């Protein structure tokens, strides 16, 4: 299921945040009924300068998504939405660096495994050389119990 986001701009201080959330939950339910293959999310922005919620930014999710994510409220505060674009870019750069480091860590791990396998092969070749030397020295073939003794 994909998440689809729509914007809801609040121009007036007349409605409380609870009233706005209730109204948007109803709107989301209607959208999800018409398009059941998607979860709908409202991105709310209060675009006025004075009052309790002046400049506030948050998300409202439908009941279906709220249950899926086991959240207690349809209101999801979004401090990242209020951060300027340079902060968001810094966050994304940090995520990319973390992903690269994780990839390098996996590569290093693969290299260590490869090195361990090569050491095992070298040890087996050494064992094989010892067995061949013992056979040549005794000029007889070794039985399985003799080979196990070298292991």
Q: What is the total count of domains within the chain?
A: 2
Note the Cα 92 to chain centre separation in Å. Answer: 13
Percent of the chain with pLDDT over 70: 52
Q: Do residues 103 and 72 both lie within one domain?
A: no
Answer with the one of 55, 82, 109 that is the final residue of a domain.
82
Region 79-107: mean pLDDT is: 59
Q: Do residues 97 and 69 both lie within one domain?
A: no
pLDDT tens digit sequence for 95-139: 666 666 666 666 666 677 767 767 766 666 665 666 666 666 665
Backbone angles phi, psi at 48, to 5 degrees: -135, 160
Res 81: pLDDT? 46
Q: What is the dihedral of CA 29, 30, 31, 35, to 10 degrees?
A: 100
Q: Do residues 100 and 121 both lie within one domain?
A: yes
Q: Do residues 62 and 39 both lie within one domain?
A: yes
Res 54: pLDDT? 85
Higher pLDDT, 94 or 6: 6
Q: Do residues 28 and 75 both lie within one domain?
A: yes
Q: Which domain holds residue 52?
A: 2-82
Q: Do residues 77 and 91 both lie within one domain?
A: no
């Amino acid at each position: 299921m994909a998440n689809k986001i729509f914007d809801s701009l609040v121009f007036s201080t007349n409605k409380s945040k609870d009233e706005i959330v209730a109204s948007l939950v109803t709107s989301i339910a209607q959208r999800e009924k018409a398009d059941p293959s998607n979860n709908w999310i409202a991105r709310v922005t209060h675009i006025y300068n004075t009052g309790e919620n002046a400049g506030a930014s948050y998300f409202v999710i439908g009941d279906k998504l709220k249950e899926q994510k086991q959240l207690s409220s349809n209101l999801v505060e979004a401090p990242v939405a209020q951060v300027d674009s340079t902060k968001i870019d810094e966050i994304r750069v940090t995520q990319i660096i973390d992903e690269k480091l994780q990839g390098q860590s996996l590569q290093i791990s693969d290299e260590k495994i490869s090195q361990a396998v090569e050491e095992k092969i070298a040890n087996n070749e050494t064992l094989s050389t010892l067995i061949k030397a013992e056979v040549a020295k005794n000029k007889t073939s070794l039985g399985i119990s003799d080979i196990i003794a070298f292991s």
